[in-house]
Amino acid sequence: MAPRSRQRRHKKPPSSVTPMVVTPPTVVTSVPLTLSKPDPSIDALGFFSLDNNVPGLSQLILQKLNMKSYEEYKLVLDGGASVSGFGFGCLQEMFQKMEDTFRFCAHCRALPSGLSDSKVLRQCKRCRNVYYCGPECQRSDWPEHRKVCQELRLVAVDRLMEWLLVTGAFVLPSGPWPCLAEVVQGWDTWFSMRCLQLDATLDAVLGSHAMTTLWANVRRPKPDPDVLQGSLKRLLTDALSRPLTLGLGLRALGIDVGKTGGSTVHVVGASHVETFLTHPGDYDELGYMFPGHLGLCVIMVGIDVCAGLTQSTSTSPLEPGTVQLSGHRGLYHDFWEEQVETGQIAHPDLVVAFHPGFHASPDLMEAWLPTLLLLRDYEIPTLITVYSHQELAASLQILVDLDTHITAYGANPFASLKPEEVYSNPNKQPVYCNAYYIMFLGSSCQLDKKQLEEKVDGEV
């Protein structure tokens, strides 16, 4: 058990859980500091906050996806209903309806339903990603939009190309690494290592029937091959960023993956982002990062973990060289008491939280506090990721205030290269999944607040 003097601070968050809804493909949503519906789910809070920037956007999304309620869409994300249950008559209708969920004026925030008969929303011809209700709004918005227009062109292409991953038409290159793992320090060396295999994979996808079908149904010109190839590479980094970031944590924190019985990683605060349409083989790249490992068990824990991931209840040793992926729906400190302390689940060698967001609102901080204190008090090696330098500074300050011992932080060499748009505020600078990391172990941070601020300011 944790030391009694600190264990009392492991306060549980409110028990009510509000259903979570997001629109595929996943988008980054800014979360306001004050929300009317507190919930430990950052996905739910993000969805509810859409209407703060664009009133009525959440209902428009549900309408275009043929959904009557948050609960109905959550059922699909949780694996309780087929994705085909959206009820679209054909691919062209599906792509059109999904694009319609992005239709609002980027300047005045007007939705199609709020426009007069003489007005219609038109795309920016450069990026094909944002809409305007008229020339006046477009001209007024240009000083801000010009800063991100080029990046948003990539967002618009990637949003469509992700369909190839969903359908399985784009299978990521895989297999043992042909070079020493220590040499692969980031994407440059990873791409160099996979060069021949990757080229063959991309060429096959570019010339596939699935690619032809995709662009025949999206009602926009098909980009040049080099643009499509660049998109596939960005999507590849987005899919592999999580397993390789886990590997970064195992390597940097000195976790022995060669121990008898294998090693266990807990991904806490996991949601549909980490678990929707996730298959066991998706984390094979983590195993290739550690040739000779004696088994790696990755358990996703969170209130929004999709039902498709098998619940993990086995305590049998892992098979050497294999990566086992499973899920558990619930709050982590409850999972710890019910599964880890009772010996049903192995004690974690590493805990990872992808974009926990506890810096974003008091409600999320309250929900995360029991887990953060548990990780600190049990001295569990922990890695968290954030989207931006601003989030890095805010999260570091919170961890310092909690007296955690921060061992390392900085830019993640395996950050996704796919730009993520802030859904309801598209002209905000795009961010990148797992852009920065923070590692901590135990308590008694060695940096005081002033030293920390100076170091963070000097990072970028």
Helix H, strand E, coil C: the string for 207-219 is: CCHHHHHHHHCCC
pLDDT of residue 318: 83
Buried (b) or exposed (e) across 31-40, using 16+ Cβ within 10 A? beeebeebbb
pLDDT of residue 94: 85
SS3 297: strand
DSSP assignment of 89-147 equals: SSHHHHHHHHHHTT-SBTTT---GGGS-TT---EE-TTTSS-EESSHHHHHHHHHHHTT
Q: Is the peptide bond before 25 cis (omega within 30 degrees of 0)?
A: yes
pLDDT of residue 237: 97
State the angle between helix axes of 209-216 and 195-206 in degrees (0 to 180), rounded to the nearest 10: 50
Q: Which two tokens stand for residue 50?
A: 């859409």
SS3 14: coil
The 10 Å Cβ neighbour count of residue 147 is: 12
pLDDT of residue 6: 37
Instruction: Please classify residue 415 by burial: count the beta carbons closer than 10 Å to its beta carbon, then call 0-12 exposed, 13-18 middle and 19+ buried.
Output: buried
- What's the DSSP call for residue 422? B
Q: Give the closest residue to 433 by CA, choosing from 252, 162, 215.
A: 162
SS3 187: helix
Question: In the chain, what is the greatest distance between 2 CA atoms, to the nearest angstrom?
Answer: 71
Q: Which two tokens stand for residue 297?
A: 């068990």
User: 111, 103 in Cβ contact below 8 A?
Assistant: yes
pLDDT of residue 83: 53
Structural domains in the chain plus CATH codes: 17-147 (no CATH), 248-459 (3.40.50)
Bridge partners (DSSP) listed for residue 351 = 266, 382
Q: Which two tokens stand for residue 233?
A: 């590479």
Backbone φ, ψ for residue 402 (5° rounding)? -90, 5
HSE at residue 454, side-chain half, CA atoms within 13 A, is 5
pLDDT of residue 442: 95
pLDDT by position in tens, the chain (length 460): 333 333 333 333 333 222 223 333 343 443 333 333 334 455 666 666 677 788 888 788 778 777 777 667 666 666 555 555 456 778 888 888 888 888 999 999 999 988 887 788 999 999 999 999 999 999 999 999 999 999 999 999 999 999 999 888 999 888 999 988 889 999 999 999 999 899 999 999 999 999 999 999 998 899 999 999 999 999 999 999 999 999 999 999 999 999 998 999 999 999 878 887 777 788 999 999 999 999 999 999 998 887 777 555 455 678 899 999 999 988 999 999 999 999 989 999 999 999 999 998 888 899 999 999 999 999 999 999 999 999 999 999 999 999 999 999 999 999 999 999 988 889 999 999 999 999 999 997 545 555 555 656 665 4
HSE at residue 277, side-chain half, CA atoms within 13 A, is 15
The 10 Å Cβ neighbour count of residue 262 is: 22
Q: Give the closest residue to 145 by CA, choosing from 100, 104, 107, 112.
A: 107
Bridge partners (DSSP) listed for residue 123 = 131
- What's the DSSP call for residue 68? S
DSSP assignment of 326-367 equals: EEEES-HHHHIIIIITTTSSPPPSEEEEES--TTS-HHHHHH
